[in-house]
Amino acid sequence: MAALDNAAGAGETAAGESSDFITEFIKEDLAGGRFDHVHTRFPPEPNGWLHIGHCKAFYIDFSMAEKFGGKCNLRFDDTNPEKEDSSYVEAIKRDVKWMGYDWEDREYYASDYYEYLYELAVKIIKKGRAYVDDLSEEEIGEYRGTAVEDKNNITFTPPGRNSPYRDRPAGENLDLFARMRAGEFADGAKTLRAKIDMAHPNLLMRDPVMYRIRRESHYRTGNAWCIYPMYDFQHPLSDAREGITHSLCSLEYEIHRPLYEWFINEAEVFPSRQIEFARLNLTHTVMSKRWLLRLVREKHVEGWDDPRMPTIAGLRRRGYTPEAIRNFVSQIGIAKTGSMVDIAFLEYCLREDLNKRCLRAMAVLHPLKLVIENWPAGRVEELDAVNNPEDEKAGTRKIPFSGELWIERDDFEEIPPPKYFRLYPGSGGQPGSSVRLRYGYIVTCTGFDRDEAGNIAAVRCTYDPSTRGGNAPDNRRVKGTIHWVSASRAVPIEVRVYDYLFSAERPMEVPPRPDGSPGDFTDNLNPRSLEVIPLAWGEPSLADTSAGDLRQFERLGYFVRDTLPGGAEGGHARPVFNKTIGIRDTWAKIKEK
C-alpha cells in the first residue's frame, strides 16, 4: 500500500494538520463586513447514492456552519430529469441523517426555483447579456474551440468563433425564449446562451449554455417544463435565492468560479461566495457516481449498498460507524491541493472506534472438530468471558464448554511449519503440542482422525482440569491460544468476507489490454473481493443479535450482522454476518515507512 501522497502538500495530513483555509476566508469575510453571518449548503444531485467522498463535502458544509453559529441547507440540484429520481432523494436524506447531520426545516429543491430562474434568465436577456442560439450541440462545441499545443508543446486556447445568431436583438431573443418554454421547438433545436467572450482563455466562459430543450418528465414537476437550466446557471442563482454566504465546492469547480460570479453579477442577486477545497480520493476506490453507477448496472456488485462499495449505504452494511467516518474526515483536514489518501488510514480510524464499542464473541469460520478424550461424557460447563476488555461496564457473559468443540481448521497442522504454536500431533517420541483454549482449559494434542476421503476430520486432545481459565498452576510454557465454540451449543451462521473491490491502488490508471485495446477501470476489479462461507459456527450470544449489531469475533476481526433480512424471508437459513475489517492494523506500519 502507498501512504498518503505527501499528505496533500497544503496541510492535508493523516495526523490532522490542516491549514483550514476555509475557516480563515470566512473569518476575513465576517471581519471585513462582506457578510454578518454564515449560511452554507450541501447540494447533492439526485442521480445516485452518496459515497464517502460526499462525507467530506457535507462534513465541511455542516461543520463550518456550526463553527460560526450559522445554518446549513440541504438542497437537491435537480435540473437533469433524464438521470434523477425520487429514490435517490430518499437515499441521500437517509444517509445524511445516518451520518449525524440534521438540516431541520431547510430542505430545498432547485426544481422549486424554475420560475425564479426563468425570470432571471429573462432579466439577463433584457440586458443584452444572453441570446437564443440555433447552433446544434456539436456546432457549439466546434465554434467554442479547444485547447491545443504549439510546436513548443505549450498549451493554449485559440479564440473561438461567434455564433451567427449572437447579435440577435433582445426583443427577438425574449420572444424565442418564451416560445422555447411553450414547446414550439424540437429538442436541441435552440439553446439560450450567455453572451460573455468567445476569446476568453477559460473555455467555460465562451458563451455557455444556460437553458436547453428537453422533453423529459421531471420526477417533481412532471411535464410542466420542457426547458431545463444548466447546472452552471442554476447553481449560483439557487445559492443566491437561499442567501448562501459561502458556497463550498470541491476543487474541480474552481474553473467554474468566474462563471458562478458572472451569473450572480448579471442577475444582480445576493453575492454568494464560492470557495473550493480538494476532494477526497482513496486508494483501491473509485469516487464518481458515474463509475459507481456502471458497477451497479453491469452487475459487478449487488447494488448501491453492496458492502464493497464506497457508498455510505455500502459502508453501513459493511459495519462502518458514523463516528469513525467523521473522525477520518476531520483528521485528513481541508486543503487546496488534491491527494490520494491510503484506505488503511480509514481502516485505522474504524478499528479505533470499533475496539472501544464492540462486544466480543467467538466464531469459527472454517470448522474442524476437536474432541477432548478425557472430558466427562455429557458434561457442559459455563465459562465466563469478557465482553469488552476496553470497557469494564460491558461486563461478562456465559459461554458453554463441552467435550466436542469447533476450532479453526488452520489451528491444526499435521506437519507444523517453523514457529507454529498451535495444535499438531506428536512425533519421534515427542508429545503433541499444547494450547490454551480461550477462557477454557489447556489441551494437548494426542492425534487426529481422517474421513473416507483422507481429509482430516477431527483432532483429538486431552485437557488438564487444573487449568480452567487457561492458567497452568505449574507455570508451564504454553505459547498458543486459540478460540473455539461448543459443537453442541453452537449457532449456525453465514459469513461474508470482503476484500477491496479493486486490486489496484489507483483503479482508474489502467494499462492497455494484451490485445492492445484500451483498458477499462473494470479490468482492475478484484476477483476475490467476496468470499461467502455458507456455514460457520458462532457462540450462542450471536443468536440474540439484531441487524446492524457489531461484534469482534476474537482473533478474526470485526463483523456486523447484515441489515438485509435474514432467515427464510431473506433467502437465508441462518443469520448473515459481514466482515467489516480485520484486527491487524496496517496503518501503523505505513506510518513507519
In Å, what is the CA distance from 92 to each residue of 74, 76, 278, 295, 401? 10, 9, 22, 19, 47
* DSSP 8-state symbol, 328: H
Contact 359, 353 (CB under 8 A): no
Set 12, 45, 276, 494: catalytic member = 45
CA atoms within 13 A on the CB side of 522: 11
Catalytic residue, chosen from 279, 460, 468, 489, is: 279
DSSP 280-303: P-BTT----HHHHHHHHHTTSSSS
> Is-catalytic flag, 279?
yes
Nearest C-alpha neighbor of 412 from the set 367, 355, 345: 367
Can 45 be counted among the known catalytic residues? yes
The number of beta carbons lying within 10 Å of the beta carbon of residue 376 is: 11
Task: Examine the residue annotation and report whether 261 is marked as an active-site residue of this protein.
Answer: no
131: Cβ–Cβ under 8 A, 6 or more apart, which residues?
125, 163, 165, 166, 167, 168, 173, 192, 193, 195
Length in residues, the chain: 593
Residue 379 burial (CB < 10 Å; 0-12/13-18/19+)? Answer: exposed
Read off the amino acid at residue 288: S
Please compute, for residue 423, the number of CA atoms within 13 A of its CA located in the half-sphere on the CB side: 30
In order of 181, 208, 268, the CA distances from 262 in angstroms are 24, 11, 10
Radius of gyration of the chain (CA): 31
Closest CA to 463 of 443, 439, 434, 435: 443
- Single-letter residue type at 324: A
Q: Render the burial of 283-306: b for 16+ CB within 10 Å, e for the rest.
A: bbbbbebeebeebbeeeebeebbb
Q: How many whole angstroms separate alpha carbon 371 and alpha carbon 492? A: 19
Of 92, 580, 545, give the one whose Cα is nearest residue 313. Answer: 92
Q: What is the rounded CA–CA span in Å between residue 567 and residue 569?
A: 6
Query: Which of 199, 207, 212, 130 lies closest to 168 in space, CA to CA?
Result: 130
40-66 residues labelled b (16+ CB within 10 A) or e (exposed): bbbbbbbbbbbbbbbbbbbbbbbbbbe
Sheet holding 480-482, edge to edge: 480-482, 434-437, 442-450, 456-463, 367-372, 404-408, 485-486
Q: Which of 71, 75, 212, 289 is catalytic?
A: 289
Neighbours of 34 (CB within 10 A): 13
Catalytic residue IDs: 45, 279, 289
